[in-house]
Amino acid sequence: MFTTTLLEFWDTPAKIRSHDSFSFYIDEASPVGPEQPETVQNFVSVFGTVAKKLMRKWLATQTMNFTGQLGAGIRYFDLRISTKPRDPNNELYFAHGLFSAKVNEGLEEIHAFLSEHPREVVFLDFNHFYGMQKYHHEKLVQMLKDIYGNKMCPAIFAQEVSLKYLWEKEYQVLVFYHSPVALEVPFLWPGQMMPAPWANTTDPEKLIQFLQASITERRKKGSFFISQVVLTPKASTVVKGVASGLRETITERALPAMMQWVRTQKPGESGINIVTADFVELGDFISTVIKLNYIFEEGEANT
C-alpha cells in the first residue's frame, strides 16, 4: 500500500497519479463528448458502434476502476467532467471523448475506500469541464460536500500541508478545481496550485527532455507539481494503429525508456512530486515510484 511520509507533501515524497483516471468506465454506447471536433462527430455518425469501439481503444488510458487503482497505490485522480446533451436529469459524468461513469458513483467509490482506511489521503483534480454552466458547478460542489463533508482539507499554503497536519485534522481529501469557482469555495484548491505541464508528443526522447526541463522550472515555483509521463498520439498515429489502440501502439513500446527516466529521479523540492502515467499497472511503474520515497527518506536521515 502506498503511503507518504510525515514530511511536507509539496516538496517531498513522490505520489502516483493515473492519467484520465476514470477512463476504465468509458461507455461505448454513450454519445460522443461535447469537446470532440466536428470530424470525430461525423466519423461516429457514419460508422456508429464500430467507430466508438475504435475510439475506446485510444481513449481508455486505464484498465482498473477506482477501487483497483486505490488498492494498487494510486492516490491522485485526474478527473474531467461533462454534462450530457439533452439529459433531462442534468447528471454529471466523467468524460474523455466518450462518456464514462456518473460522477457521484465514482466519488462514492473513492469515499468507501477512505472510510475503510482513515489514515489515507487522496487528491482529486477536476481539471476539465465540458458543457457546464454555473448551476452544474454548484451541483458538483454540493455533491462533494454531501459525500466527503469534513474529510476535505480547506485550501491553505501548499508548504503548510503535511501528512501529520492532515491526520491531526482528520482530513483525507484535497480537491483541486480548475475553474474560477474555486475562489468562492473554501475547500476547493485553485487549479494553478497544481501545475501539470504537457509535452504533447509521441516521441519518448522529446518527452523525457520536456520532463527534465519542467522539473528545472518547477524549482522556481515551490508548489505541488505534476510530471506527466504520457505520450499523446497524433492523428496519423491513430490511423496507423487504429485497431491496436493506445496501449499497444504507444505506451507499451515506450515504457522501457519512460521507466528508465523515472528510476533516475529523486523526490523533493528540486525533484519530482507527482508522477502521471497511462495504464499504471504496466511494468513496475507503481513500485518504482514508491521506492523513490524510501530513497528520499534515507537521504533525509543522513543529513
Catalytic residue among 96, 136, 137, 178: 96
Is 96 catalytic? The answer is: yes
In DSSP notation, 125-182 reads EEEEEES--HHHHHHHHHHHHHHHGGGBPPP--GGG-BHHHHHHHT--EEEEE-SGGG
Residues 6+ apart with CB under 8 A from 141: 181, 185, 188
Give the end-to-end CA distance of the chain in Å, rounded to a whole number: 27
| Secondary structure tally for the chain: helices H, strands E | 10, 9
**Residue type present at position 31:** P
Cell numbers describing residue 69: 487503482
- Grid cell 503535511 — which residue? 162
Q: Using only C-alpha atoms, what is the Rg of the chain?
A: 19
β-bridge mates for residue 128, sequence order: 80
Residue positions annotated with a catalytic role:
19, 96
